[in-house]
Amino acid sequence: MDRACLSISGCCAGRIALPVAAMDRLMPMHLHLSASGRITALGPTLAKIAAQAKIGAGGGLTGQDFFQLFEVRRPAGVAGMADLSARQGERLHLGMRGGDVAFRGLAMADVSGGIVLNLSFGIGVAEAVRAHALTDADFAATDLTVELLYLAEVKRMVLGELQRLNQRLQGAKTQAEEQALTDTLTGLRNRRALDLRLAQAVVAGAPFALLRLDLDRFKAVNDTLGHAAGDHILRMVAQVLLAETRSGDLVARVGGDEFVILLPDLIRMPRLIAVAERIIAAIAQPVAFEGQVCQIGASVGLTVSTFYASLTGEEMLQDADAALYAAKRDGRGRVVPFLR
Amino acid sequence: MLGLFNRALENFLRQRHGPALWQRVVQRAGLPFDSFEPLLDYDPALTVALITASCDELGQTRETVLEDMGTALVSHHDRDGLRRLLRFGGVSFRDFLHSLEELPDRARLALPHLDLPDLLLEDRAGGHFTLRAAPPFAGAGFVLIGLLRAMADDYGALVLLDMAPPVAGADVISILVLDESYAEGRRFDLAIAAP
């Protein structure tokens, strides 16, 4: 067989005769079929795969009937040499009987009534290379299979890197949110900002006041008119609080409808009560939202740092809270100072 | 490609010398962050500052630091990706050397923005080759030497590598292949197992 030649019809020279060894190098996955459909030669890569899949019962594929060993899956109805011949030049999809390798194929007639069928792995190439432990040497030097595998591998690496980048960004976002000092709904400071500022104020030792404000009837608005109305009201309240305080004051939303205001250098009770009453009056103004009028109110409890011999932020917050509940108990819509 | 290099140097310093040293390098180089993203672009001045700070912190020359890093790129056990990509270059070390000229094109095919410098291989017969590349930053040739040294090891080849005098601004690396099958190389399968 080594010295035998295959004759392939060529378009210009009429015919090209090639040693089998040359065919093997040019098309390491080709099959040569006789006119009767017997396999007369096959490329080394195909032989390797067949041997691994134990197809062809020991003696290899040569001499066996092609259609016994292979099936043409697409196009349908290719079951004999005449069918195969009629499909010359078309892309064929084939498989080995008893093996799970899928091939693409291209069949062309030779000058002696036989057929040269060249195969490739098609899209499942990575799987096939892995399954049959193929190497560079199993592919023709012109074949781009190795480049394809290379690209698949680069893609895998880059995707992995992108995934890690996304995870890092997600982590950074979470961290940024944790470290944020702003309440996203109202633009006021948040609980964290209040805690930081309160701690600083306690350490600094300069006098300051703490106001706790709760909305009255807010839950009712939220329940009857919906969350959008509730959010609208919270934003309006935020505007009121900012308008009625100084730029150096800290206004924080610390819960659903709970606010805390820290006022540095303001401890005179009449002034503080006046500020709180202005706020309560402004919040009590009816607000229009999508054709509906909603009216809420606010209660305020307050305390000042000079009440305390040994000051802690926590104690001040608790006392302002106690005053706030006293205000609510007394009928809401009012301000109650904490009394030592 | 500077993001890729910066991150590679970062990984090398963290793994070989520890996170504390990396933090000192970050401070010394005056970086505004403490980790590089391999797929992002960076100011070339950052790379220069990073290399200088690394050498100062380690008390080693630029040649040593960059060459060690190049070797670690390929030989570090949990960094198999680059080694594999380079091994696609061929079945022998000589094949691999010849494939280096194709490397920038391959890289471009996969990542159009990567922009690896062109590599020019000259076969001077008798196992002697020279590899020329315009360095994207001063000292880049030493990274390449380290990488080639690790790849020779990977193929099991005995090879002498040296930096030759530069030609027209390009680094020139002299490569002498003494024995292609000096030792048993590491195994390479074209397709790796699905993760």
Per-residue pLDDT at B32: 85
Q: In this complex, is the C-beta atom of A17 within 8 Å of any C-beta atom belonging to chain B?
A: no
pTM value is 0.63
The 10s digit of each residue's pLDDT in B133-177 is 999 999 999 999 999 999 999 999 999 999 999 999 999 999 999
Per-residue pLDDT at A59: 59
Residues B14 and B93 in one domain: no
Region of residue A57 (left: phi > 0; alpha: psi -120 to 50; beta: else): left
- Strand runs labelled E in chain A: 5-9, 15-19, 30-33, 39-42, 70-74, 92-96, 102-109, 115-120, 208-216, 250-253, 258-264, 287-289, 292-294, 297-304, 335-337
Residues B164 and B102 in one domain: yes
Of the three residues B11, B45, B60, the one that is the final residue of a domain is B60
Domain membership flag for residue B159? yes
Best of B91, B190, B192 to mutate (most A CBs within 10 Å, chain A): B190
Taking the C-alpha atoms of residue B151 and residue A191, their distance in angstroms, rounded to an integer, is 57
Residues B169 and B129 in one domain: yes
Distances in Å between the Cα of B52 and the Cα atoms of A99, A314, B2, B29, B139 are: 59, 50, 15, 8, 11
Residues B95 and B172 in one domain: yes
Residues B168 and B102 in one domain: yes
Residues B51 and B95 in one domain: no
Tokens describing residue A221: 């608005």
Residue A135's closest chain B neighbor by CA? Answer: B190
- What is the interface pTM, i.e. ipTM, of the complex? 0.71
Residues B105 and B53 in one domain: no
Catalytic residue list contains A257: yes
Residues B41 and B105 in one domain: no
Residues B121 and B173 in one domain: yes
Which residues are CB-neighbours of A131 under 8 A, at least 6 positions away?
Answer: A101
Domain membership flag for residue B56? yes
Domain membership flag for residue B66? no
The 10s digit of each residue's pLDDT in A283-324 is 999 988 888 888 899 999 999 999 999 999 999 999 999 999
Q: Above pLDDT 70, what percent of chain A?
A: 94
Q: In this complex, is the C-beta atom of A161 within 8 Å of any C-beta atom belonging to chain B?
A: yes
Residues from chain B contacting residue A157 (CB–CB below 8 Å): 81, 85
Residues B56 and B93 in one domain: no
Number of domains in chain B: 2
**Domain range for B112:** 89-179
- Among A126, A155, A162, the residue with its CB nearest the CB of B110 is A155
The 10s digit of each residue's pLDDT in A125-168 is 888 888 888 888 889 989 888 888 888 888 888 888 888 888 88
Q: What is the DSSP letter of A38?
A: B
Domain membership flag for residue B129? yes
Of the three residues B44, B60, B76, the one that is the final residue of a domain is B60
The residue among B186, B162, B193 whose CA lies nearest residue B76 is B186
Domain membership flag for residue B154? yes
Per-residue pLDDT at A57: 56
Per-residue pLDDT at A177: 79
